[in-house]
Amino acid sequence: MTGSYSIHPSVIHTEIDDSMVLLHLTTKRYYTINSTGVVIWKSLLKQKSVPEIVAVLLAEYDASEERLQGAVISFLEKLERAELVQRQ
C-alpha cells in the first residue's frame, strides 16, 4: 500500500506526556494512542504518505522496514474504521 491518508476534520487531538487523546466531534468518541501512534499521527499532520511515515519510524525504531510497514498500515486501517482518518 502506498496511498496516503488525511485526518478527519472533526477530530481534535491533544498530546499529553508521550500519548495522545483523539476526540471525534461527530461521533463524540474518544481514543487514546501510544507513543508510536503519536509519531504516525504527527506524520499525518504533516501530510506524509505511508512510505514517508514508514521512513520516519525506521529512523526511530530498531525494526525491519517490512514489519514497520505492516504496523503502519494496520494502525491506519484501524483509524480509518473509526473514521479518524480518510483515505485520499
Partner 1 sequence: MQHLTKLTVELTNLCNLDCAYCLKVSAAQHLDYALLLQVLQDAKECGADRITFTGGEISLYPHLGETLRLTEQLGYQFALITNGWHFPRLVPHLTATRSALHMVSLSIDAADAEAHDQVRGKGSFQKLMSAVSLCRLQRFPFSFQMVVTSHNRHDMEKVAVLGARLGAQRVRFSHLLPTSMSLDAELSLSPHLRQAVEIEAAQLNEILKMEVSFSASRYNPGPEPPCDVLHGSTIDINCYGEMTLCCQLSDFRHAGQAPEVAANLHQVRFPEAYQHFLQLVSEQNDRRTAALRQNQPEAEFPCHYCLSCFGKTTWQPNPNSLQSGGSPS
Nearer to partner 1 among residue 1 and residue 25 (C-beta): 25
- Region of 36 (left: φ > 0; alpha: ψ -120 to 50; beta: rest) is alpha
Burial class (CB in 10 A: 0-12, 13-18, 19+), 34: exposed
> What is the total residue count of the chain?
88
Helix (H) or strand (E) holding 24: strand 19-24
Smallest distance, partner 1 to C-beta of residue 25, A: 7
Residue 55 in contact with partner 1, rule: CB under 8 A: no
4 to 43, contacts with partner 1 by CB under 8 A? 12, 14, 16, 21-23, 25, 28, 30, 32
* Binding residue count for partner 1, defined by CB under 8 A: 10
What is the binding site for partner 1 (CB under 8 A)?
Answer: 12, 14, 16, 21-23, 25, 28, 30, 32
